[in-house]
């Protein structure tokens, strides 16, 4: 049985583009009104910068790797139209 879901009014193309270009910044989450997810992405970015500034390069690269993998997963789900906006609506064409 397939799940019927409301389509998001947010633009599919804009969401995919923002994720592809600025994924580690979390801008796409703010655009999709997924505020807590966006704040978590920004926090990871700040943590990464702080690690690099303090000379903890290995930890900085680890946080960058985690954020990069997270961005790739979200990008994939956006492309296959399985990601939802902050109100639970599917981002589709």
Q: How many CB atoms lie within 10 A of CB 57?
A: 10
Decide: helix, strand or coil at residue 2: coil
Tens-place pLDDT, residues 57-71:
999 999 999 999 999
Please give the Cα distance from 61 to 47 (Å, whole number).
11
**Which pLDDT score, from 0 to 100, does residue 23 have?**
87
Q: Could you give the angle at the alpha carbon of 47 between the alpha carbons of 44 and 51, nearest 5°?
A: 140
DSSP E strand boundaries for 1-93: none
CA 50 from chain center: how many Å? 21
Please report which confidence band the pLDDT of residue 87 belongs to, taking 50, 70 and 90 as the band edges: very high
Which tokens go with 18?
């923002």
Tens-place pLDDT, residues 5-60:
789 999 999 999 999 999 889 999 999 999 999 999 999 999 999 999 999 999 99
């Amino acid at each position: 049985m397939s799940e019927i879901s409301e389509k998001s009014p947010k633009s599919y193309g804009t969401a995919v583009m923002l994720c592809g270009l600025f994924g580690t910044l979390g801008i796409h989450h703010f655009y999709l009104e997924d505020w807590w997810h966006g704040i978590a992405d920004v926090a990871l970015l700040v943590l990464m910068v702080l690690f690099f500034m303090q000379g903890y390069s290995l930890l900085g690269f680890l946080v960058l790797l985690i954020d990069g993998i997270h961005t790739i997963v979200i990008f994939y789900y956006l492309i296959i139209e399985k990601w939802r906006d902050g109100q639970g609506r599917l981002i589709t064409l």
